[in-house]
Structure 1
Amino acid sequence: MPVQRVSYSVYVNSPKADGQKPNTQDLVNVGYMAGRYGINLDGNPNENNQPKFTDKGVLINVNSCTTDALETNLKQSGIKFDRMA
């Protein structure tokens, strides 16, 4: 059975939950999380799960077993995000 993957849109270009703009450390943290959770943990070299940057933020496609950790970290930092699927 293939590993389930979940896509997130992380709004790093939008104000955070407290209304503040994301600061440099927030962006570094999101970049780290995008790399840590968005990398291809399935071991399938045919899939490219690199983070994709958009005008609103960054799209991350993660292994479903890491979604809880990713969501917890994003909520703690106040960065807004949507779970796509």
Structure 2
Amino acid sequence: MFTGKRPYLISAVLLLAVTIPATGLSLLTRTPLLLKSMSVIALAFSAIVALAACCLSSDRHGAGITLWDVSGAYAFIGFAAGMLSDPRQVLEL
């Protein structure tokens, strides 16, 4: 679907779409809520990267690190941060 002459451009746009909101939210979030918000951010980015991997027809069993691996890493980080946080503080988000 998105294959073309510049595959690096898609990777750069995806990287910027993931890093800029995370950095901005990390700077604007209060310290007690940082772990909870990072959990939500990581799970959202996992979904974004999985959608990009699906649209780019990324090979799940390819050599090296694929977009599916990055999506799984984001999901793992999101669930781990969610387990370490206090559920009562999530209501403050």
What TM-score, normalized to structure 1?
0.35
Name the one with the larger strand percent: 1
Name the one with the larger helix percent: 2
Greater relative contact order structure (CA < 8 Å, 6+ sep): 1
What TM-score, normalized to structure 2?
0.33
Bigger CA radius of gyration: 2
